[in-house]
Amino acid sequence: MKFRAFGSTGVKVSEIGMGCWAIGGNAFGNSYGTADDSESVKAVRKAVDLGCNFFDTADVYGHGHSEELLGIALQKIRKSVLIATKVGGSYIYGDDWGNMNFTPEYVRFALEQSLLRLKTDYIDVYQLHNPTLQMIKEGEVFKPLRELQKEGKIRHAGVSVFTLDEGLAALDHADSIQCVFNIIDPRNYEMMETAKRRGIAIIVREPLANGLLTGKYTASSVFEKGDIRNNTPPQYMEGVTELADEMEKRFPWATPAQIALKYILSFDCVSTVIPGAKTPEQAAENMVASDIRALTKEDMAVFGS
């Protein structure tokens, strides 16, 4: 496993981290399908065994279940890893999940709940979970994070964004920005390059296009109820799965998932990329991508880069 600077924080992170949305399971929908808790814990520990030290989750994943499993899997080695979680799209002092709330009072409340679930007394990277563009521009939503940072309850203040404009606005406020970037969706590249110049860490999510670049699905694949991929437009599904098939043919020395990850790691503005995994085998496939040979200019040209 290779390591990279996490912006200008002085921290080194594994260039391949682990996204933990999927291990939250499907009990409440908004998921990547059913997950087995035992296998999920094994997946996290396999990632650790292979050098991963960065784990990204959110309090909404499985209504806290993803955080709980991370707490179990990482408790004995807490000081050796970095945990990133998110706040803002969770519950309001109860069970009313899915309501956006970035008030200072709520952020403090939510942090305490995350700390309990994660079995820790600090969060390495606490991220606002998809605030609006206006919120990011105004910057007030970052103030509670900076206060928590001063108190030692969080180490770094980050934000997860949807759009390029949100990412650009976040450059004035965050220690890290989490955004989408992959072979078929490179729109955030210029923002990521600017972030690097300014010492802001970049966490890349959806590197495998919600798993569709793994080569394990076809245009006619059907997902269980609650899986977010049920809403994938047929034309997009066909295009992405065909690309995965083409990658398998062009790059027989690695899996499509590994090539997709290596493509992202070809950009040095990326601090870490966080593919998801629900089994030890999936975690291993992802982590090994750090050690396969770099893509050549000819390889990158296949993707128009």
In which band, very low, low, confident or very high, does the pLDDT at 95 lie, cut at 50, 70 and 90?
low
Looking at every residue in the chain, the average pLDDT score rounds to 95
Sign of CA dihedral 112, 277, 128, 80: positive
Report the topology of domain 3-211+268-297: TIM Barrel (3.20.20)
Give CA angle at 121 (120, 124), nearest 5°.
Answer: 80
Tell me: the pLDDT tens digits for 26-64? 999 999 999 999 999 999 999 999 999 999 999 999 999
Q: Which residue has the tokens 């109820």?
A: 225
Nearest CA-CA partner of 305 in 200, 204, 125, 185? 185
Flag whether pLDDT at 244 surpasses 70. yes
C-alpha–C-alpha distance, residues 167 and 136, integer Å: 9
Amino acid at position 289, single letter: A
Cα 72 from Cα 76, distance rounded (Å): 8
Q: How far apart are CA 205 and CA 133, in angstroms?
A: 19
Provide the pLDDT for residue 180: 98
Answer yes or no: is pLDDT of 83 > 80.
yes
Residue 54, token pair as written in the block: 């960065």
Residues 98-154 have pLDDT tens digits of 678 999 999 999 999 999 999 999 999 999 999 999 999 999 999 999 999 999 999
Partners of 202 in the β-ladder = 177
CA 192 to chain centre: 15
Cα angle 9, 15, 21 (rounded to 5 degrees) comes to 95
Average pLDDT over residues 231-247: 96
Spatial distance between the Cα atoms of 22 and 39, rounded to a whole number of angstroms: 12
CB 89 within 8 A of CB 103: no
User: Strand 82-87's sheet: what is its strand order?
Assistant: 18-19, 54-56, 82-87, 123-129, 154-160, 176-180, 201-205, 272-273
Please report the pLDDT score of residue 100 as a whole number: 87
Distance CA 179, CA 167 (A): 8
Q: Rounded to whole angstroms, how far apart are CA atoms 100 and 280?
A: 33
CA–CA separation, 78 vs 251, rounded Å?
Answer: 37
Residue 98: its pLDDT value, please? Answer: 62
What are the residue boundaries of the structural domains of the chain, listed by start? 3-211+268-297
The first and second tokens of residue 103, run together, are 């008030």
d(CA 170, CA 195): 9
Q: Please, which pLDDT band fits residue 303 given cuts at 50, 70 and 90?
A: confident
DSSP 178: E
